[in-house]
Structure 1
Amino acid sequence: MTSRRVFAAALFAGALAALVPGSARAQGQLTVYCSVQEEWCRPMMAAFERATGIRVAMTRKSSGETLTQIRAEATNPRGDVWWGGTGDPHMQAAEENLTVEYRSPRLSELHDWAVRQAQQANFRTVGIYAGALGYSYNVPELQRRRIEAPRCWADLTKPEFRGEVQVADPNTSGTAYTLLATIVQLMGEEPAFTYLKALHRNVNQYTRSGAAPARAAATGETLVGITFLHDAVTQKVNGAPVELVGPCEGTGYEIGSMSIIRGARNLDNAKRFVDWALSPEAQAIGAEAKAYQLPSNRNAPIPPQAPRFEAIKLIDYDFARWGSAAERNRLLARWDREVRAAAR
């Protein structure tokens, strides 16, 4: 190619670049660990790439699995951002100095519950959505077996639900850890473990993923699936014959969170992702992906199908205490010893 043609090509490329918004000309890469469902992870990353030109490498794992991975990689971090998943393991990561402080300029746009969580974590994590814990049941299967519809946590320990309840393992699932901490706060620790051992007799499987029991209830693989209610809404919107229950005794809730991993190799891009992910536009992607949590940005649209907190009896969930490493590790060890290891 002659020098004149090289110059012309460069001139054309420069003119073309001038037509592209500055954000789209950005270069670089980002590694994101995603802890929501795959169907939401992928459009989020694709939208960020389109908005910035930053290439994203994404890995999807549950909250508990991601926390374990970040710990294992602490001396040689591979990830930049941990996006999504229940807040308790994010709080624990903050306490263990696995994540770094970042105060996004969008904090002023967020609901109080999201800001409060950020403050409790010394701004090493921030809330991106919220969702209440509960369960769903398969209506035709319930009717076929002539079982009365459950309405409370206590109902799930009845003999008629023997082998018909599915829930995740709290060691791998933030959803299931929220259940464990919720029952302890609701009943007191000793009665809670009595209840959990009774529930154990009716559990047919402890899944790795917190959303899996909602899918199992939707297909009739299990009669009842304990999950966050928005996961059950996804199944119902897709046509599954399920009903949702916010238990009568009261229930806990999650603040889904986002954190920048300490030692991130692409720190500037990580901060840029956090700012973008807190925007109304980014948070609107959840509903498009059939994820029906309550977004943390006050200006983000709330999906009409999202379970509303005002219609559910919520406990005053202590995120700071039950998200701490000491309490989490202690509860998990006791659950492993007294519940998981128990005969059915």
Structure 2
Amino acid sequence: MKKFSLLFVLVFATLFFITGSALAKSKVVIYTSLENEEVVEYLKQAKEELPDLEIQAIRLSTGELGARMLAEKENPQADCIWGWAVTNMEEFIPKGMIKAYKPTGWDKIPTNFKDPNGFWTAIDLYAAAFIINEKVIENKKLPIPKGWNDLLNPAYKDQLIMPNPASSGTGFLQVASLLEMMDPDYKTKPVEDNKAWDFLKKLDANMGQYIKSGSKPAKLTAAGEYAVGCSFAFVYSSLKRKGFPVKMVLPEEGAGFELEANALLEGARNEDSAKKFLDWALSKSAMTGYAKFKLGVSYPGIAGPKDMPVLESIKLAPMDFPWQSKNRAKILETWSNLFLK
């Protein structure tokens, strides 16, 4: 039986940045799925560049954010979303919960990074990656995997950790990319009949744990608890700089990826403040801040971290975001029926 983390149950961090007289400030409430480490750094910058704005940012996992929005549909508590998976965002447009808004600078963003009607605008791209603990690999005499198929090697039994796609956007993009890459007929057959499920069943035999967070597989692997963490590229850079014995491998079959986007919420109580924040969040200054953590940002001409590969050099999986969004519920239902036992 798989071990599931019970420690990370609906954890969110609320950060307040208030200077001067609170009465002189306008307020904005933001929901975000950006990593905690990122949010702290970005909000320091926002505080400096938006001194007249009181920012309340609530950090939730990808799945938790969606669940919270649904629970608050009749009485929205947030004004905007900052950095949420596009495949999730798309589900909420037909529900009437996202309001079209094209922030200042929207025209500079490439078309593949934004909704043509302005319902969402992506700020960055993150890609699936394997985080390898080089010491564990050496001590256990394990090969370094080059791609997903290599992880079926029985030598990796109980040495793998992967995010639960029901709660983690990273987990979902990993599963969705495999469904698309491993079955050319993914669009024309029922989700539950996809060939990739057979692969995932074999992978499950080696899995030590499915966990709620997309970054936690990398962090637990870095700590020496696993040999390979199925995570995402950004977290490698952070762990490497902290001195952990880690190596990053981008799957040779193609790295699944996701766009993180911003949006204005319908029924926002502080709409003007939300628009002001969204304008800043799409600015060149904000994007330069994101680029310290991200594989790639949507603002043209801004490079990522020096210890990360150039985005153009990476083989990305052909992600079909509309199909993923439309079939998200069925994908998660099938995965849960197979692996949440």
Using structure 1 for the length normalisation, give the TM-score: 0.85
Moved more, 37-46 or 149-158: 37-46
Paired position in structure 2 for 1:106: 105
Paired positions, count:
310
Paired position in structure 2 for 1:207: 211
In the alignment, which of 271, 275, 284 is matched to residue 267 of structure 1? 271
1:41-120 residue pairs with structure 2 within 5 A? 41-52=39-50, 53-115=52-114, 118-119=115-116
Q: What RMSD in Å do the two structures reach over aligned CA positions?
A: 1.9
CA deviation after TM superposition for structure 1 residue 172, in Å: 0.7
Q: Give CA deviations for 1:270-318 in whole Å, capped at 9, x if unaligned.
A: 1111110111111222355xx2331111144432233333322212211
- Kindly indicate whether the alpha-carbon contact (under 8 Å) linking 2:291 and 2:302 is maintained by their aligned counterparts in 1: no
Paired position in structure 2 for 1:10: none
CA deviation after TM superposition for structure 1 residue 46, in Å: 3.3
- Kindly indicate whether the alpha-carbon contact (under 8 Å) linking 2:32 and 2:60 is maintained by their aligned counterparts in 1: yes
- Kindly indicate whether the alpha-carbon contact (under 8 Å) linking 1:234 and 1:292 is maintained by their aligned counterparts in 2: no
CA distance in 2, matches of 1:305, 1:80: 35
1:27 aligns with 2:31: no
Paired position in structure 2 for 1:137: 132
CA deviation after TM superposition for structure 1 residue 26, in Å: 6.9
In the alignment, which of 187, 192, 195 is matched to residue 196 of structure 2? 192
Q: Which has the higher helix share?
A: 1
Paired position in structure 2 for 1:307: 309
1:288-327 residue pairs with structure 2 within 5 A? 288=292, 291-324=293-326, 327=327
1:325-340 residue pairs with structure 2 within 5 A? 327-340=327-340
Moved more, 204-213 or 174-183: 204-213
Percent identical residues = 28
- Kindly indicate whether the alpha-carbon contact (under 8 Å) linking 1:233 and 1:292 is maintained by their aligned counterparts in 2: no
Secondary structure class of the residue paired with 2:235: helix
Runs of 4+ aligned structure 1 residues displaced above 3 Å come to none
CA deviation after TM superposition for structure 1 residue 233, in Å: 2.2
Alignment-mate amino acid for residue 234 of structure 2 = H
- Kindly indicate whether the alpha-carbon contact (under 8 Å) linking 1:138 and 1:218 is maintained by their aligned counterparts in 2: yes
- Kindly indicate whether the alpha-carbon contact (under 8 Å) linking 2:136 and 2:226 is maintained by their aligned counterparts in 1: no
- Kindly indicate whether the alpha-carbon contact (under 8 Å) linking 1:33 and 1:79 is maintained by their aligned counterparts in 2: yes
1:256 aligns with 2:263: no
Unpaired stretches in structure 1, ≥5 consecutive residues:
1-24
CA distance in 2, matches of 1:182, 1:95: 24
CA distance in 2, matches of 1:48, 1:26: 17
- Kindly indicate whether the alpha-carbon contact (under 8 Å) linking 1:127 and 1:257 is maintained by their aligned counterparts in 2: yes
Q: Give CA deviations for 1:85-142 in whole Å, capped at 9, x if unaligned.
A: 3221122222332211111231122234313xx22xx321111001221211111110
- Kindly indicate whether the alpha-carbon contact (under 8 Å) linking 1:252 and 1:315 is maintained by their aligned counterparts in 2: yes
CA distance in 2, matches of 1:302, 1:149: 26
Paired position in structure 2 for 1:37: 35
Q: 1:237 and 1:264, CA in 2 relative to 1: closer, same or farther beyond 3 A?
A: same
- Kindly indicate whether the alpha-carbon contact (under 8 Å) linking 2:27 and 2:55 is maintained by their aligned counterparts in 1: yes
Using structure 2 for the length normalisation, give the TM-score: 0.86
CA distance in 2, matches of 1:169, 1:278: 30
1:173-188 residue pairs with structure 2 within 5 A? 173-188=168-183
- Kindly indicate whether the alpha-carbon contact (under 8 Å) linking 1:162 and 1:203 is maintained by their aligned counterparts in 2: yes
CA deviation after TM superposition for structure 1 residue 58, in Å: 1.5
- Kindly indicate whether the alpha-carbon contact (under 8 Å) linking 2:173 and 2:258 is maintained by their aligned counterparts in 1: yes
Unpaired stretches in structure 2, ≥5 consecutive residues:
1-22, 187-193
